[in-house]
Amino acid sequence: MMLSSVRLLQLALPLVKNHGFTRDALARSVMALPLSEAHTEPLSETSVSALFGSGDSSRRNLIKAWLDDGIRYMDTMPPGSSVNEVLRARLEYNEPVLQFLPEAFALLASPQSGLPPLDLRPALQHASTIADKACRITGDKSLQLAWYTRRMSLATIYSVSELHQLTSPDTAYTFLETLLHSSVSFKSSLNEVDLFSSYIVKSWRGIINSYGIL
Amino acid sequence: MLTRTLRLTAIAHLFCQGYANKATLTSTIYLNPSRSRDPAISTTPTTLTMRQQHALDSALRVDQAGEIAANWIYKGQFFVLGRDPTVGPLIQEMWDQEKKHLAVMDKLQVQHHIRPTILSGIAKIAGFGLGATTAIMGKEAAMACTEAVETVIGEHYDDQLKEMECLPQEHPSVPLLKSIVKEFRDDELEHLDIAVTHHSQRAPAHALLSSVVGVGCKVAIELCKRF
């Protein structure tokens, strides 16, 4: 896309809450330009197709721009914020356009070429990008495989909370908090199992040493 | 392989002389808690192009994976030869240095937001297996393994220094990163020098062993760059 279309996409984002992720929102973006450049009429269908792609491609571009803006929105969180605060802020970002999100996510999951019938890659990328951003903002210092498990667990928690938000917006934040709390408890239990296992290994090593095998 | 090793050994001698004279090492800045807020060790360049970001990502990912594998190679060697009065302390000394390298690489991973390799578990098992197997074959074979590994790693760090010229030098973390890679390259070449001094080239089927280990290291480097 050209630079002008990138600029127009940004101007279309505030229009999503009234017009949804539609070509109409894209067409009206020119009316939000500064006064000296603003158009009085929305763009024609041909212009929208030329600038943002034909058919649903233009809508996909608008949804992707909105998701990227959501990642930038997370950057506004102050340093030292907790994971709960960061993910909660990202859920709050959804609120103004919540009614349009099921259709937007369905569109992203629809394959452009027909096969496979459901393309989960955009959903996975959406959740993993948010989890990675949350880890960066909160100063996560996970290493090696823990780096992956931390992000996978946050991506899952966020995805489930977002799905919950689509059906029950009022309880989404409490639900998010509960999931995060459960994951901390689960991690703590795993650490205890790990510690206990290390004691067993050490005691067996001691027994083997006492027999003079090693 | 032999010519390359001799060339690197000669370089290693030169580096070791300089290394011994160094009062402080660059990497110590990462292990000093009082410097943790220094921008050179707590920030990452934000103006990187896609190509530069990719270069930094793959470089640090493979370096960290290499240090993990090196730690486990020495762990495997120490498991078998730890009680040997000649090579036991030597392996311990080289292992301690690799532990420090890994600690610094871990800090660099967090600082520059690098995705670590997903193959770290395989690197540990393969590293331990390689170290223990060569140690079972004898002291010379263990040293030949060290020689082959450190030859590839020394060359890899050297190539990486040239690649890092494309990064923006004005950000304080970049000159520091280059300095650390130089220091680690010198350490690896010092290990190579130790291995040659302790008769690595007397190992049975030295040329074959070196080639197999060298090719294995190169394949591992390429895999870790991507995964």
CATH number at residue B93: 1.20.1260
B68: in domain: yes
CB A145 within 8 A of CB B120: yes
The DSSP call for residue A40 is: S
pLDDT at B18: 44
CB A109 within 8 A of CB A122: yes
Picking from A136, A141, A144, the nearest residue to B120 by CB comes out as A144
B7: in domain: no
| Token digits of residue B62 | 């493979």
B152: in domain: yes
From residue A17, give the alpha-carbon distance in Å to each of A14, A66, A104. Answer: 7, 11, 13
CA distance A104 to chain B (A): 28
Tell me which residues of chain B have a C-beta less than 8 Å from any C-beta of chain A: 68, 106, 109-110, 113, 115-116, 118, 120-121
B42: in domain: no
What ipTM was estimated for this complex? 0.77
CA distance A37 to chain B (A): 30
**Cα separation of A190 and A51, whole Å?**
52
CB A75 within 8 A of CB A123: no
The DSSP call for residue A99 is: G
CA-derived radius of gyration, chain B: 17
CA-closest candidate to residue B27, choices B110, B113, B101, B116: B101
Number of domains into which chain B is organized: 1
Instruction: Give contacts of A134 with chain B, Cβ < 8 Å.
Output: none
pTM metric for this prediction:
0.80
pLDDT at B19: 43
**Cα separation of B9 and A17, whole Å?**
67
Picking from B106, B113, B120, the nearest residue to A145 by CB comes out as B120
B26: in domain: no
For B112, the closest chain A residue by CA position comes to: A136
| Token digits of residue A169 | 């917006």
CB of A121 within 8 Å of a chain B CB? The answer is: no
Range of the domain at B215: 48-226
Q: Is B82 helix (H, G, I), strand (E, B) or coil?
A: coil
One digit per residue, pLDDT tens: chain A, 214 residues? 554 888 899 999 999 999 999 999 999 998 888 878 778 888 888 988 988 888 888 999 999 999 999 999 998 898 888 999 999 999 999 999 999 999 999 998 888 776 677 888 889 999 999 999 999 999 888 998 899 999 999 999 999 999 999 999 999 999 999 999 998 888 888 888 888 898 999 999 888 888 877 6
Q: Is A104 helix (H, G, I), strand (E, B) or coil?
A: helix
In a 10 Å sphere around its CB, with 0-12 CB exposed, 13-18 middle and 19+ buried, how is residue B24 labelled?
exposed
pLDDT at B29: 84
